[in-house]
């Protein structure tokens, strides 16, 4: 079987994506801290994450745009725009320019959503089906591993040198992906002309999910989990302060435990998908997260630490199979729209559940909330694991590529 490292273009591209993820994760928290320092308002700082998330609601439209053009030139353009956009933060001099931070953050989120849609199509062209899961697992491992250090480094650099230094550093992380994409040799399929109205074209991503039974089941189960997973954000703080009676600063070690778990779960998810299939791998991830959330009800530091590690291990098993299944079961012409539709279906209920969880926390406490989350994850996992359509199948039995799509490419010197 071909290994991911043997696909020359993939090695360079994924390495540059790791650098880009490092820049993203170092910038997000630093921007919120910057707004907090300028306005002395935690609410204003929280708006930073709102403006970052709002563009995902336009995901299906952005996906339709990504499907109308070749993905490599689009990624070159979006990375270039992202780097230049970040430099706009150099214009922030005081509280009166906070609007500029919000504007750049909104643009950053817009670029990120478009890149996500385009990247799905490029990887579908770049890699054989059996390597899509390995690529997804690699990117998940990198993203979760960088969460251990990048936000701290970003805030640390902000503390030492200010927001302008963070903006410049993040802008530089866009350079390597642009260079790699320019050097990459790949014959992408010509975008399929369409006479559909844009509204119908945008809806085609959801229509494809609905008429693909095994993918639809995955999406239904994952959406159910996303309806409650946001509760873990406010409830997780209460576990530390009310359940363990520790300082809120102990959230840091808890995040480290989750990150360490992700470093274990990420490299194993591709092997699990080959053995169990994407659906049952995701189901195992849901069940394990349900167990981990249940363990957080135990007022014991070691037990909560184990729960955090288990959550970190399970998260790649939950995330990577969804993306891999969507890529394998979706023709290239629909990759952007399906990817963007999934982003909306998952991120919207997750964001709502954060707000609902924060409101309910003050009324009922964290224990009933965590119990509800554990039950939903366990039920979703059990339902998905028992679906006949989720039985593992060989890659050749999954029809996702047009027969005339090219598969091989190379990057000089990569």
User: Which residue range is the domain that position 80 belongs to?
Assistant: 1-188
Q: Is residue 405 part of a domain?
A: no
| Cα(224)–Cα(217) distance, integer angstroms | 11
Q: Token pair of 102, please?
A: 């919000």
**Residue 401 belongs to some domain of the structure:** no
Does residue 173 surpass a pLDDT of 50?
yes
CATH of the domain at 167: 1.20.1250.20
| Domain closes at, from 137, 168, 188 | 188
Tens of pLDDT, residue by residue over 309-325, are 999 889 889 988 988 88
In terms of domains, do 40 and 16 share one?
yes
Supply the pLDDT for residue 301.
93
Alpha carbon distance 107, 45 (integer Å): 17
CA neighbor of 399 nearest in space, from 322, 332, 340, 319: 332
Asked if 202 and 64 touch (Cβ cutoff 8 Å), the reply is: yes
Answer yes or no: do 33 and 160 share one domain. yes
Asked if 273 and 229 sit in the same domain, the reply is yes
Same structural domain, 225 and 154:
no
Instruction: Please check the confidence at residue 148 and state whether its pLDDT lies above 70.
Output: no
CB atoms within 10 A of CB 70: 18
Tell me the pLDDT of the chain averaged across its residues: 81
Question: Does 404 map to a domain?
Answer: no
pTM: 0.68
CA–CA separation, 298 vs 306, rounded Å? 11
One domain, residues 248 and 178: no
Q: Are residues 28 and 83 in the same domain?
A: yes
Please report whether residue 47 resides in a domain: yes
For residues 245 and 354, membership in a common domain is answered with yes
**Residue where a domain stops, chosen among 124, 156, 188:** 188
Please check whether residues 169 and 276 belong to one and the same domain: no
Q: According to the model, what pLDDT value does residue 397 have?
A: 38
Q: Of 165, 188, 211, which one is at a domain's C-terminal end?
A: 188
- Is the same domain home to 207 and 184? no
pLDDT the model gives residue 403 = 32
Residue range 233-262, pLDDT digits in tens: 778 878 888 899 887 667 667 877 887 888
In a domain? residue 408:
no
Mean pLDDT of 277-291: 94
In this structure, the answer to whether residues 171 and 32 fall within a common structural domain is yes
Band of the pLDDT at 61, cuts 50, 70, 90? confident
SS3 370: helix
With cut-offs at 50, 70 and 90, classify the pLDDT of residue 406: very low
Residues 245 and 150 both lie in one domain: no
Query: Is residue 408 predicted with pLDDT exceeding 60?
Result: no
224 and 165 within one domain: no
Decide: 402 and 124 in contact? Cβ < 8 Å: no
Contact 236, 251 (CB under 8 A): yes
Band of residue 221 on the pLDDT scale cut at 50, 70, 90: very high
In this prediction, what percent of the chain has a pLDDT beyond 70? 85
- Is position 317 within any domain? yes
Judge whether 173 lies within some domain: yes
Mean pLDDT of 70-97: 92
Quick one: pLDDT at residue 404? 33
Whether 37 maps to a domain, the answer reads yes
Overall number of domains in the chain: 2
The pLDDT value given to residue 248: 63
- Which tops the pLDDT comparison, 361 or 7? 361
> What are the contacts of 353-357 at 24+ separation with CB within 8 A?
353/226, 353/227, 353/228, 353/229, 353/230, 353/231, 354/230, 354/231, 354/233, 354/234, 355/230, 356/230, 356/231, 357/230, 357/231, 357/232, 357/233, 357/234, 357/235
């Amino acid at each position: 079987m071909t290994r991911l490292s043997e696909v020359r273009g993939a090695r360079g591209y994924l390495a540059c994506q790791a650098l880009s993820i490092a820049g993203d994760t170092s910038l997000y928290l630093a921007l919120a801290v910057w707004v907090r320092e300028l306005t002395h308002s935690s609410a204003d700082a929280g708006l930073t994450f709102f403006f970052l998330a709002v563009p995902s609601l336009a995901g299906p439209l952005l996906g339709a745009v990504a499907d109308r053009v070749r993905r490599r030139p689009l990624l070159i353009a979006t990375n270039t725009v992202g780097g230049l956009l970040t430099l706009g933060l150099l214009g922030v001099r005081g509280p009166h320019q906070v609007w500029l931070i919000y504007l750049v953050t909104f643009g950053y989120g817009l670029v990120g959503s478009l890149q996500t849609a385009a990247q799905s199509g490029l990887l579908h062209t770049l890699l054989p089906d059996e390597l899509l899961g390995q690529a997804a697992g690699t990117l998940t491992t990198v993203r979760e591993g960088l969460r251990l250090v990048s936000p701290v480094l970003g805030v640390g650099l902000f503390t030492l040198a200010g927001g302008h230094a963070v903006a410049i550093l993040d802008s530089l992380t866009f350079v390597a992906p642009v260079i790699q994409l320019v050097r990459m040799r790949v014959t992408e399929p010509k975008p399929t002309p369409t006479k559909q109205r844009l509204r119908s074209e945008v809806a085609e991503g959801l229509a494809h999910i609905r008429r693909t039974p095994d993918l639809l089941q995955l999406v239904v189960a994952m959406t159910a989990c996303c309806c409650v997973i946001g509760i873990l954000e406010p409830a997780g703080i209460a576990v530390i302060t009310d359940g363990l009676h520790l300082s809120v600063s102990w959230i840091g070690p808890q995040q480290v435990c989750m990150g360490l778990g992700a470093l274990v779960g990420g490299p194993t998810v591709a092997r699990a998908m080959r053995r169990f299939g994407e659906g049952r791998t995701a189901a195992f991830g849901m069940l394990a997260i349900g167990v981990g959330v249940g363990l957080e009800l135990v007022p014991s530091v070691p037990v909560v630490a184990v729960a955090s590690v288990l959550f970190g291990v399970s998260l790649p098993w939950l995330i990577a199979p969804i993306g891999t299944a969507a890529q394998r079961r979706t023709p290239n012409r629909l990759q952007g729209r399906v990817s963007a539709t999934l982003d909306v279906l998952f991120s919207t209920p997750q964001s709502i559940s954060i707000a609902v969880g924060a409101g309910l926390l003050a009324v009922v406490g964290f224990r009933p909330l965590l119990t509800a989350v554990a039950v939903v994850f366990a039920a979703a996992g059990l339902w998905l694991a028992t679906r006949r359509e989720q039985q593992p199948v060989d890659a050749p039995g999954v029809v996702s590529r047009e027969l005339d799509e090219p598969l091989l490419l190379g990057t000089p010197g990569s």
